[in-house]
Amino acid sequence: MKKQFIKDLKPGDRVDSLFAVKFKKPVKNYVKGYMFEARVADKTGEITAKYWGDNDENSVQKLYDDFQKPDVIRVTGTANEYMGRLEIGISKTDRDILEKTDEYDVTDFVASSERDIDEMMNELTGTAESIKNAHLKTLLEKMLKDEKFIDRFKKSPASMMYHQNCVGGLLEHTLNVVKICETLCEIYPVLDRDLLIAGALLHDVGKVFELEVSTVIDVSEDGMLRGHIIIGEEFVNERIKKIIDFPETLKLKLLHMILSHHGEKRFGAPKEPQLPEAVALHYADYCDAKVDLFLKAKSEAKTEDKWIWDKKLGHVYLK
């Protein structure tokens, strides 16, 4: 059982724990021989592990070739601080260990949402049932009855490394976006609530197929080549085709909301919002993702300073 987690490591700590491999960098020489580094992770974070070998390049290369992403490896070594960042040094001269293992608990490596998944799913289902438009209601009912899809949806993360990157993260994010959209409908009663809530429920369904979860969260081949927006638009459109007399304009509006929810083309949106409901969805999506990132940055900060600098967010005030 894994007992040491990345978030708890401090400079000088001896490390003996299991980690999932995110990626490796090739073997290269250094003053005392050959070395390589691997980016490793558990459910609490990521860290770089550096293996310092001797002059036997072949043995170092063999060790490097013995494991791949997303294998789990046992590492013994020492936690060191280098250029302000913590890393793990693994030294052959100190008889440290780096080896692949098949004995591990996958829940040690990918975090889960802190919220109850079944409770969130029940709340999301209740919202879908509140939709009055018969065609949108039928579309959502058919998707909610697709047990294989819903099982994957409940387990999917919302992202690989940014907001809600955990099992159940997509469900959590979707529910948050729906709630924000409900509030926007109260502020702006003229909005088409059924269209906006349906769009909120469906905007990220493509992530079910874009992201894969094993010991790490990774992007699928389809996700890499097409992305969740295109995948999601196609997924919803194929289901609309099976509903008799689904209005063409309603279909186009709903698909437009999926295609435009990233807001701008520079952020991956094939189309920019052209409906008030699409604008509302975009900012609801952006709001939840951004707030989650700030909350995560604050909770993971390891400093007594008032601020930290985050490469995604800039300055984050901690007090």
**What confidence tier does 263 reach under pLDDT thresholds 50, 70, 90?**
very high
**Residues whose CB is less than 8 angstroms from the CB of residue 45 and which lie 6 or more positions away in sequence, other chains included:** 5, 6, 7, 300
**What confidence tier does 297 reach under pLDDT thresholds 50, 70, 90?**
confident
Least confident of 25-39, 206-220, 299-313: 299-313
Mean pLDDT, range 56-75, rounded to an integer: 96
Which pTM does this prediction carry?
0.86
pLDDT tens digits for range 220-233? 999 999 999 999 99
**What confidence tier does 284 reach under pLDDT thresholds 50, 70, 90?**
very high
Query: Where do the domains of the chain lie?
Result: 6-108, 117-300
pLDDT over 80 at 190, yes or no: yes
> What is the amino acid identity at position 197?
I
**Angle formed by the axes of helices 169-187 and 276-300, to 10°?**
130
Mean pLDDT, range 279-287, rounded to an integer: 98
> What is the amino acid identity at position 244?
I
pLDDT tens digits for range 232-245? 999 999 999 999 99
Three-class SS state of 242 = coil
pLDDT over 80 at 198, yes or no: yes
pLDDT over 90 at 3, yes or no: no
For residues 238 and 105, what is the distance between their CA atoms, to the nearest angstrom? 37
Mean pLDDT, range 292-311, rounded to an integer: 82
Mean pLDDT, range 58-65, rounded to an integer: 96
Give the per-residue pLDDT at 42. 94
pLDDT over 90 at 73, yes or no: yes
pLDDT over 80 at 304, yes or no: no
In this structure, how many other beta carbons lie within 10 angstroms of the beta carbon of residue 137? 16
Give the per-residue pLDDT at 299. 79
pLDDT tens digits for range 100-143? 999 999 889 998 999 999 999 999 999 999 999 999 999 999 99
Give the per-residue pLDDT at 97. 92
In this structure, how many other beta carbons lie within 10 angstroms of the beta carbon of residue 309? 10
For residues 19 and 39, what is the distance between their CA atoms, to the nearest angstrom? 9
Q: What count of residues does the chain have?
A: 319
**What confidence tier does 262 reach under pLDDT thresholds 50, 70, 90?**
very high
For residues 296 and 186, what is the distance between their CA atoms, to the nearest angstrom? 29
pLDDT over 90 at 314, yes or no: no
Least confident of 217-226, 248-257, 296-305: 296-305
Long-range Cβ contacts of 165-170 (<8 Å, 24+ apart): 165/111, 165/217, 166/43, 166/110, 166/111, 166/112, 166/113, 167/110, 167/111, 167/112, 167/113, 167/213, 168/112, 168/113, 168/115, 168/117, 168/120, 169/113, 170/204, 170/207, 170/208
| pLDDT, the chain, mean | 94
Mean pLDDT, range 284-304, rounded to an integer: 87
Mean pLDDT, range 72-95, rounded to an integer: 92
Give the per-residue pLDDT at 168. 96
Give the per-residue pLDDT at 296. 86
CATH class, domain 117-300, is mainly alpha
**What confidence tier does 197 reach under pLDDT thresholds 50, 70, 90?**
very high
C-alpha gyration radius of the chain: 23
Domain 6-108 has CATH 3.30.1330.10: no
